[in-house]
Structure 1
Amino acid sequence: MGRRQGPVVVEEPAGAEPTVMAWRDGERELWWSRAAALEHGLERDDWVTAVRGAVNLSDLAPEQVPWLFAKGPETVARALLGKSAYLRHHQRADLGRVAAARFELDATAYVLAEAAENPDRLGLLVLPFRGPEVAALVAGWLRHLGSARLWARLWLDRHPECAVRALVPVAAGKPGRARQNAEAALRFLSAAGHGPIMTRSGEQALLPAGKNRMVLEQLPEIRTVTGGIMPEDHVARLVTALTRSSLDDPPEPAPGDADRPVPLVVESSAAAQPAVRAPEKELAELIASADRASLAGFGRAMLDQWVTAGMAPAESWVLLAQAHLGDDATMDVLAPLVRSWPAKSRHARAVDGFAVLATVGSEVALRHLLAIEANMSGGPTNERATVYLTQAAAARGLSVTGLADRLAITHGLETGVRVDYGSRSFRVHADEHLVAHVVNADGRMLARPPKPGVKDVKPAAYQQFLQFKKDLRATAVAQAGRLERDMVHRRLRPARDLPGVLLPHPVLGPIARRLLWGEFDGRRLVRALRIAEDGSFADLHDDSADVSADARLGIVHPADLGADLDRWAQIFADYEIVAPFPQLGRAMVALTEEQRAATGLPGSGTLNAERLLALMRNRWHGDGFHINSRVHNRLARKLPGGLTLLAELSPGMPASAYLTTGEHAITEIWVDEAWSDHWHPFRRTAIGEVDPVALSEALVELYAARV
């Protein structure tokens, strides 16, 4: 559809405008062709009877639904489409496209329910549907960060007249979320070249939204840079300007091609995240006139008042304002709050907190963000923390791993730490295992300093040393755990970072020296390398190895080493190198070439209910169903590269996993594409396509759970 040059005028409010189909040339045929990709396993003779007796789609076995949409009885499928909410197939985009192509308007309720449930992944389904209900739905997607924004833009650009007729009355109506959504959609249409959007009266429909403002009382005075006190009218202007604190405009929509066999989709939680918008000119001038420490204290008092009052969403600008007002002390106050909010279902506030920490970007702020991200469980909120970290690291020209290396705390060991009693002092020394000792005047190493005597004027130094020792040990454990995760997830560093960052670091250095490193080409190990006593690299033959500064180094997993594993284990034993976590002696599963060429592995052993649940609390989940039942017949675990590891179970566990009892035999282990529903009757992916480290870690976890 071409762009409009003149204004789009709404003569009267949209009433009962019907939804219609508006296919592009060839689009319906393209969507219908996805029927060939829908998986449903082997058909059974009783499926026709089963679907005719169903009242809702949820009454069917999941395998029967794609069969019904693709080639089941048409009258039954049409009747069931409007009587059930979504089913959680992996191929939901294909299910929706096939349903829309085959049943058109009869699929409207189904398509809208699917798109509303997951706009990023399924919003493409509404593109050929033209109607006011669709307009209201997609208008809200412009606030998303992921692919939903693209689907909204495509729909609005494709159906502008329908959008205007549906949304102008809403934009001129009572304040609220619906009005804000309508205004955003109309602004997009106007900016996209469809002309000014006018109501019948000639007034523009883009109405400014109101803003609730927090009443601020009993806040501390703000000192100015000249030593005076900021006048009350300036404070009032400052607060008024702070109420406009907001996140920056979202980045451009995430990719998502509706015509691709598997749409290239980015969830909002994984899309680029907006920083806090830079202060306006007036706010910047007022901030520049204030003493920074005093201004930060003023901001913390506002934050405390907002949190104590219940964190009203209308005053959430107080949180975002900390990006303009806060200092490192503010970040120390804010970080524990942000860490606690997801558990209290304050996910939106937590994300705003991530934005503040990332926007401030100081070492203190980013250390807090690193700690938050490392200690959160999975899920969309944690994904946003990871994205904010990635963006903050990229702003410094680093990966998250490189940022974490550079921000690892040193506890002052690089400049020297002493236990000072006043009358005498002791130098603190950390050994290769990062256990803190003290060295007395004659050079002897002591596990701890002698207890203070009557002549020691600073006796508290003794307890301070014990706390230092405890803190250093905790840091060593945390950093070793981080490097172990680097090994498992194949996080690589440029070779220059080892001598330039890790080895000189008083905490990371002793850990890195006790690990086997390797030069990688992508995920393939080129050669393994030991860090010699002088900091150079040594190869398997204990010869000096030259490594380019740009080479990509990672911590070697034993699954990478093949026949060289025993030799490397012997070298480490000869040098009495004790790894900070299981590395060369790590439990692993190494497959033969024949096994890697196969499309499945024979199962063995059983899992009882307790161990099944333990796996599902970790990285595994139930998958698949027995036909005409609600019993999971397999476990699944996500792998790198868009793959899934599957373990077939017999007899299988109820869909409500916590009702699981008895023992379940592992009958087969195989691999499939993650986008699949895994119902095809023949295996199609070689085990060798899986990264050997990821496969080993998953199989070790599965085998260890067997009874």
Structure 2
Amino acid sequence: SGPSGMRQECSRNRAAQISATNARNEPVAEAAIAELLAADPLDALPAKLPVLPEWADVAVLTPIHLRGDAGALPAEAARHVMTMLAISRPGDPYAGLALVKEACDSRSLADFGWALFQRWQAAGYPSKESWMMDALALLGDDETVRRLTPLIRTWPGEGGHARAVAGLDLLAGIGSEVALMHLHGIAEKVKFSGLKNRARQKMDEVAAGLGLTSQELADRLVPTFGLSADGSLTLDYGRRQFVVGFDEQLKPYVTDAAGKRLKNLPKPGANDDPELAPAAHQRFAGLKKDVRAVAADNIRRLEQAMVNRRRWSGAEFKRLLVGHPLLWHIVRRLVWGLYDPSGLLTGALRVAEDRSFADVEDDTLTLPDEAVVGVAHPLELGEQLAAWAEMFADYEILQPFPQLGRETCQPDETLLSEISAAKIPTGKVIGLERRGWRRGAPQDAGIQCWIERDVPGGRTITIGLLPGIAIGYHEFADEQTLEGVGLDGLDGLDPITVSEILRDLREITR
């Protein structure tokens, strides 16, 4: 069947659509189909149309529903939609798909695309039909993202690295906040370094397209999870209500109407509303799962912001951090510094329960939009460190990561000798990647012989590994020895950078 055959098939399909619509007396859907007819976007066809695989039988796929409850497309029409997907290319979809998406329910199109993908998955991902991955990007939504991301994370371990990389392109192509949130999650934490690096590249590309850095984009991608402005969530059981709060690790907890903290959210009972209570209980279960997916990444991100001395304007700080209903639970448990243009600390503040700002004397502060704000490092706080620690202890404020009580290190020969002499489990060395370190490029036999970390001034600190880490075979060596840890390598670095490098190395030697 050539282009003329395609047109004939589409004409028959359109007639069937209109007939089915007329039978249901749905003039709105009929108008949509009529527009599809009139537009005739079928001129750009390949010389030979692809043959759809037998396993992609539309009879087993989720029906595609027309908008406005006008019924479902006939099976032949659904098959034509598959042909449109098969002749589309990334960034260059077949023109008729835009009209299909206009006439059909978006959720049912996403479900159809996912059902099609599952058939491809069950068939063993045949490369001839790899267009089905592109189909997910063309028809997918946030639910598609939630279903696909766990597969992307595991595919490299099953010999599917190229397919996982295509999945990253798909997430970036869908481009919603949820899709980019999951892309950022892969960039921050996945056990396959190749996939992690590609995800970081995609995040950089997306951010650059928006005129942002990847970290600035990440600030804007933290979901609110439907929390109220004060960062809480009320669960309505009908006769009973419960309030969800969050601790310093962003773990949700529940209090009753009187404010008493409960061990667990009670299960719906006979006296509760039969619809509200089960829905509220299910929502809390989903909230715990969703928040757990972003909590550790965002706590680690703020800790790295302290270490790397990232700054926000006062306006960004108030809007993106203090004003965020989830993040503010961590923000109010930290001491924030105010900085002059040269980067020197000029003052410090905390965020109070009512989102106002207070200094170490607990006096209210006004934060100008043009102020420069960052997570204060204990070495910057100097003589004020003890006073801030006392205040946080008085208010019983627990911190999400060590800040006021953070161990600081100065270089001396004894400490450097201890680090150099230690036999360190390979897993602990790999764990440094969560703190901004990278493993070096593979050398002979795929051995990574060093770890490295960027430092201010465009420099990179490199620490040798003996015997090194074998890619994909961590059992190659159970332990590593660090080489090149000396005063010369730390010369010229500022005290905070030196302290953080030595703190990292000291922790993995214990």
TM-score by length of 2: 0.70
2:158 aligned partner, one-letter code: K
**Whole-angstrom distance in 2 between the partners of 1:542 and 1:225:** 58
CA RMSD of aligned residues (A): 4.3
Tell me which of 370, 373, 376 is aligned to 1:556.
Answer: 376
Q: Which structure's CA Rg is the greater one?
A: 1
**Amino acid paired to 1:687:** D
Measure the CA separation in 1 of the matches of 2:175 and 2:469: 45
Question: Could you say if the C-alpha distance between residues 383 and 694 of structure 1 is closer, same or farther in structure 2, counting changes exceeding 3 Å?
Answer: farther
Q: Show the counterpart of 2:320.
A: 501
Match of 1:316 in 2: 130
Is the CA contact (8 Å cut-off) linking 2:426 and 2:479 kept in structure 1?
A: no
Unmatched tracts of structure 2, length 5 or more: 1-45
1:671–1:537 distance in 2 versus 1, CA, 3 Å: farther
Q: Deviations over 1:350-389 (max 9, x none)?
A: 2221122112122332232233223224634222212323
Look up the equivalent residue of 1:390 and give its one-letter code: D
The 3-state SS of whatever aligns with 1:341 is helix
Sequence identity (%):
33
Matches within 5 A, 1:550-699: 550-562=370-382, 564-590=384-410, 603-605=416-418, 606-611=420-425, 614-615=428-429, 618=432, 619=437, 636-640=451-455, 641-646=457-462, 653=467, 668-670=485-487, 687-688=491-492, 690=493, 692-699=495-502
Cα pair distance change 1:529/1:245, threshold 3 Å: farther
The structural deviation recorded for 1:516 is 1.4
2:404 maps to amino acid:
L
| Pairing 1:243–2:86 present | yes
Deviations 1:202-234 (A, max 9, x none): xxxxxx999976525322343334725446665
- Whichever residue aligns with residue 53 of structure 2, its letter is V
Q: Distance in 2 between matches of 1:469 and 1:231?
A: 38
- Within the candidate set 53, 67, 78, 1:215 is matched to 53
- With over 3 angstroms needed to count, the CA separation of the structure-2 counterparts of 1:701 and 1:378, relative to structure 1, is farther
Pair 1:280–1:545, CA change in 2 (3 A): same
- In structure 2, the partner of 1:289 is 103
Q: 1:232 to 1:397 in 2, by over 3 A?
A: same
Structure 2 residue aligned with 1:430: 245
From 504, 507, 510, the equivalent of 1:704 is 507
1:518 aligns with 2:333: no
Unaligned runs of 5+ in 1: 1-207, 248-276, 673-685
> Superposed, which structure 2 residues align to 1:354-393 within 5 Å?
354-377=168-191, 379-393=193-207
- Give 1:11-160 correspondences, 5 Å limit: none
The answer (yes or no) to whether the contact 1:367–1:407 under 8 Å persists in 2 is: yes
Looking at structure 1, the residues matched to 219 and 88 of structure 2 have their Cα atoms a distance apart, in angstroms, of: 32
- Structure with the bigger percentage of helix: 2
Indicate how the Cα distance of structure 1 residues 468 and 243 shifts in structure 2: closer, same or farther if over 3 A, else same: closer
Whole-Å Cα distance in 1 between the matches of residues 49 and 458 of structure 2? 44
1:410·1:505 contact (CA, 8 Å) conserved in 2? yes
1:319 shift after superposition = 0.6
Q: Which amino acid aligns with 1:426?
A: Q
User: 1:126 maps to what in 2?
Assistant: none
1:646 and 1:238 mapped to 2: Cα distance? 54
> In 1, distance between residues paired with 2:286 and 2:99?
43
- In the TM superposition, what is the alpha-carbon distance from 1:512 to its structure 2 partner? 0.3
Q: Structure 1 residues 414, 571: closer, same or farther in 2, change over 3 A?
A: same
- Look up the equivalent residue of 2:57 and give its one-letter code: Q
Letter of the aligned partner of 2:154 in structure 1? S
Aligned mates of 2:210, 2:403 — CA distance in 1: 31
- What letter is aligned with 2:302? L
Shift of 1:687: 1.9
Q: Partner of 2:337: helix, strand, or coil?
A: strand
Which residue of the partner structure matches residue 202 of structure 1? none
What letter matches 1:306 in structure 2? Answer: W
Classify the secondary structure of the residue corresponding to 1:496.
helix
Cα displacement (A) at 1:509? 1.2
State the Cα distance separating 1:414 from its structure 2 match. Answer: 0.7
Summarize the Cα distance change of 1:213–1:602 in structure 2 as closer, same or farther, 3 Å threshold: farther
**TM-score, with normalisation over the residues of structure 1?**
0.53
Q: What is the one-letter code of the residue matched to 2:402?
A: P
Corresponding residue for residue 224 of structure 1: 66
